[in-house]
Amino acid sequence: MRSFYFDTSIWLDFFEDRDLPTLPKSKWATKLIERIVKENNKIIYSDANEEELIGQGYTHKEIEDLFEPIGGLIINVEFTRTQFGKARDLAHRRDIPIFDALHALIARDNRATLVTLDNDFQKLKDIVSIKRPQDFI
């Protein structure tokens, strides 16, 4: 079994129609999730993802409803104080957002491949395996 960890933007691409004419982000996210289902893999979802979704205007109930159809794929994890402290330091040293650093640490600590389209994560490729959704489809 393989584990994946989605940057919050991938979840937004999946839940919202965020395709662009030359960048079918929603389509890629959907196809990746379909492949994960087919191959019986798992997706790590953290409270860091949830905090970012709330920051985008989603309520806890809306988030719960969005995840209900794919709940069997999801492994919920909570970040630790240690991870948050390391993320804060890493974000400062590499000039990236703290949640990007936190996502990378959570993915690494859960032995998951981090899936993202955000180029900031390239600064963290020495910490965790980073792939784009289209790399799997």
The pLDDT tens digits of the residues spanning 76-120 come to 999 999 999 999 999 999 999 999 999 999 999 999 999 999 998
Select from 66, 127, 74, 134 the least CA-distant residue to 100: 127
Query: Would you tell me which CATH number, out of the four given (3.30.360.10, 3.30.70.20, 3.30.70.360, 3.40.50.1010), belongs to the domain 3-136?
Result: 3.40.50.1010
pLDDT one-digit tens code per residue, 25-81: 999 999 999 999 999 999 999 999 999 999 999 999 999 999 999 988 999 999 999
Are 91 and 97 in contact, with CB atoms under 8 Å apart?
A: yes
pTM of the model: 0.94
User: Residue 83 burial by CB count (10 A; 0-12/13-18/19+): exposed, middle or buried?
Assistant: buried
- Label the pairing between strands 130-131 and 113-115: parallel
The helix (run of H) or strand (run of E) holding residue 103 is helix 98-109
